Chains A and B, each alone.
Chain A
Amino acid sequence: MSFNYNIKNKGLYYPSFDHDACGVGMVANIYGKASNEIIQQGLTILDNLAHRGACGADPDTGDGGGILLSIPHDFFVKQLSVDNITIPAVGEYAVGMVFIPNNDKDISACKKQIQNIIEDENIEILGWRNVPVKDEIIGYDAKSSMPLIVQVFVKKPINLVSDDDFEKKLYVVRKRIEISSMKLNLNNYDDFYFCSFSCRTIVYKGLLTPEQVKDFYPDLGDPLFKSWFGLVHSRFSTNTLGKWKLSHPYRYVAHNGEINTVRGNSNWMSSREKIITAESFGEDVTKIVPILEQGDSDTASLDKVFELLALSGRSLPHVMAMMVPQAWESDNAISPELRAFYEYHSCLMEPWDGPALVAFTNGKQLGANLDRNGLRPFRYSVTSDGLIVMSSETGVLELDPKKIEIRGRLQPGKMMLIDPEQGRIIFDDEIKENLANLQPYKEWVDNNLTRLESLPEITLGNYRDSIENLSSLQRSFGYTDEELRMLLVPMVQNGTEAIGSMGTDTPIAILSNKTQSVFSYFKQLFAQVSNPPLDAIREELVTSLEAPVGCEQELFKETELHCQQLKLTSPILTNKELNQIKNIDKPGLKTATISCLFNTSSSKQNLAKTIDQICKEVVISINQGNTLIVLSDRDVSLQMAAIPSLLILAAVHHDLIRRGLRSKVGLIVESGEPREVMHFALLLGYGAAAINPYLAYATFDSMLIKGEITVKDLDYAIQNYKKAIHKGLLKIASKMGISTIQSYRGAQIFECIGFNDQLIEKYFCWTPSRIGGIGIKEIEQDTIERHVKAFSEHRTPSLLDLDSGGQYQWRRDGEYHMYNPISIAKLQESARTGSYPTYKEFAELIDKQDQQLATLRGLLEFIESKDPLDISEVESADKIVKRFATGAISLGAISPEAHETLAIAMNKIGARSNTGEGGEDSRRFTIDEDGSNRNSAIKQIASGRFGVTTNYLVNATDLQIKMAQGSKPGEGGQLPGDKVDEYIGGVRHTTPGVELISPPPHHDIYSIEDLAQLIHDLKNVNSNARIHVKLVAEAGVGTIAAGVSKAHGDVVLISGDSGGTGASPETSIKHAGLPWELGIAETQQVLVENNLRGRIVVQADGQLKTGRDVAIACLLGAEEFGFATGPLVTLGCIMLRKCHLNACSVGIATQDPELRKNFAGEAEHVINYFYFVAEHMREIMASLGFRTVNDMVGRVDKLDIRTAINHWKAKGLDFSKLLYRPKKADEVDTYCVSSQDHELEKALDNILIKDAEKALNDRQAIKINKTIKNSNRTVGAMLSGEVAKKYGEEGLPDDTITIDFKGSAGQSFGAFLAKGISFNLEGDANDYIGKGLSGGRISVKPPKETKFLPEQNIITGNVSLYGATGGEMYLRGMAGERFAVRNSGALAVVEGVGDHCCEYMTGGIVVVIGKTGRNFAAGMSGGIAYVFDPEGSFGEKCNSEMVQVGKFDINEDQIVLKNLIENHLKYTGSENAKRILSDWENNKTLFLKIMPIAYKNVLHKQGLALPREMERILNG
Chain B
Amino acid sequence: MGKPLGFKDFNRQTPKKLIANDRIKNWKEIYLNWPKTDIQDQGARCMDCGVPFCHTGCPLGNKIPEFNDLVYKDEWQKALEVLHSTNNFPEFTGRICPAPCEASCVLNINQDPVTIEYIEKSIIETGFENGWVVPQYPKVRTGKKVAVVGSGPAGLATAQQLNKAGHTVTVFERDDYIGGLLRIGIPEFKLEKEIVERRINIMSEEGVEFVTGTNIGVDIKHEELLDSFDAICLSGGSTIPRDLPIPGRELKGVYFAMEYLTQQNKELSGEYIDPSEKISAEGKKVVIIGGGDTGADCLGTAHRQSAEIIYQYELLSEPPLVRPENNPWPYWPLTLRSSSAHEEGGIREFSVLTKSFSGENGILKKLHGIKVEWKQDENGRPVLLEIPGTEFEIEADLVLLAMGFVNPQQEGIINQLQVELDSRNNVNTNNEHMTNIDKVFSSGDMNRGQSLVVWAIAEGREAAHHIDKYLMGVTTLPQSLPGALPR
Contact = CB atoms under 8 A, between A and B. Distances in A.
Contact of A817 (B49, B51, B61, B328): B51
A1160 B166 CA distance: 52
Interface stretch (A69-77, A573-581, A1138-1146): A1138-1146
B267 to A, nearest CB: 35
Nearest to A788: B474
A795 B482 contact: no
A364 interface: no
B110 A821 contact: no
B356 to A, nearest CB: 42
A824 B331 contact: no
A1135 B485 contact: no
Interface string B39-57: 0000000011111110111
A832 to B, nearest CB: 7
Interface stretch (B131-139, B298-306, B346-354): B131-139
Interface string B152-174: 00000000010011100000000
A499 to B, nearest CB: 12
B4 A1134 contact: no
Nearest to B328: A829
B140 A793 contact: yes
13 contacts: A794-B475, A795-B139, A796-B138, A796-B476, A799-B476, A810-B51, A812-B55, A813-B61, A1134-B53, A1136-B47, A1138-B49, A1141-B4, A1160-B110
Contacts of A811: 52, 55, 63
Contacts of B63: 804, 811
**Which 5 A-B residue pairings sit nearest by Cβ, starting from the closest?**
A1137-B50, A812-B483, A797-B136, A1143-B4, A821-B56
B316 interface: no
A821 B483 CA distance: 9
Contacts of A809: 48-52, 65
Contacts of B109: 1132, 1134, 1145-1146, 1158
Interface in A1119-1170: 1132, 1134-1138, 1141, 1143, 1145-1146, 1152, 1154-1155, 1158, 1160
Interface string A801-817: 00010001111110001
B463 to A, nearest CB: 15
Nearest to A820: B51
A382 interface: no
A1143 B47 contact: yes
B85 A1145 contact: no
Contacts of B8: 1152, 1154-1155
Interface in B445-487: 472, 474-479, 482-486
A1040 to B, nearest CB: 32
Given A792-B476, A822-B485, 20 more contacts: A481-B66, A485-B1, A706-B78, A794-B474, A796-B139, A797-B164, A798-B84, A799-B476, A809-B49, A810-B51, A811-B55, A811-B63, A1134-B106, A1135-B50, A1135-B51, A1138-B48, A1143-B4, A1145-B109, A1152-B5, A1154-B8
Contact of A1145 (B82, B106, B166): B106
A1146 B55 contact: no
A474 interface: no
B85 A800 contact: yes
Given A829-B328, A1158-B110, A812 B482 contact: yes
A789 B476 contact: yes
Interface in A463-494: 481, 485-486
B44 to A, nearest CB: 12
A1145 B476 contact: no
A800 B82 contact: yes
A820 B5 CA distance: 23
Given A796-B164, A797-B137, A812-B61, A1145 B107 contact: yes
A686 interface: no
A485 B73 CA distance: 13
User: How big is chain B's contact interface, by range?
Assistant: 35 or more
B330 interface: yes
A54 B331 CA distance: 59
A825 interface: yes
B164 A1136 contact: no
B189 interface: no
A813 B50 contact: no
A796 B140 CA distance: 9
B326 interface: yes
B219 interface: no
Contact of B51 (A819, A833, A1145): A819
Interface string B362-393: 00000000000000000000000000000000
A820 to B, nearest CB: 6
A817 B1 CA distance: 21
B56 to A, nearest CB: 4
B484 to A, nearest CB: 8
Looking at chain B's contact residues, is the secondary structure mostly helix, strand, loop, or mixed?
Answer: loop
Interface in A701-716: 706-707
A895 interface: no
B472 to A, nearest CB: 7
A828 interface: yes
A122 B260 CA distance: 117
B7 interface: yes
Most chain A CB within 10 A, of B7, B57, B109, B325, is at B109
Nearest to B330: A825
A299 to B, nearest CB: 45
B104 interface: yes
A824 B4 contact: no
B7 A822 contact: no
A1146 B109 CA distance: 8
Given A794-B140, A822-B485, A829-B328, A810 B85 contact: no
B206 to A, nearest CB: 9
A793 B482 contact: no
A810 B136 contact: no
A502 interface: yes
Contacts of B53: 821, 1134
A800 B87 CA distance: 12
B455 to A, nearest CB: 15
B388 to A, nearest CB: 35
Interface in B221-245: none
Nearest to B54: A821
A1217 to B, nearest CB: 34
A832 B328 contact: yes
Nearest to A793: B140
Contact of A1143 (B5, B52, B111, B140): B5
Nearest to B135: A797
Interface string A571-611: 00000000000000000000000000000000000000000
Given A810-B50, A1135-B49, A1137-B50, A795 B476 contact: yes
B47 A1145 contact: yes
B325 A821 contact: no
B476 A822 contact: no
A798 B202 CA distance: 14
B472 A794 contact: yes
Interface string B125-146: 0000000000011111000000
Nearest to B61: A812
Interface in B54-84: 55-57, 61, 63, 65-66, 75, 78, 81-82, 84
Interface string B1-24: 100110110000000000000000
Contacts of B57: 821
Given A809-B50, A810-B50, A813-B61, A796 B4 contact: no
A982 B111 CA distance: 28
A1144 B404 CA distance: 41
A1136 B82 contact: no
Contacts of B161: 796
Contacts of A1155: 8
A1152 B50 CA distance: 19
Nearest to A1141: B4
Interface in A753-794: 789, 792-794
B330 A821 contact: yes
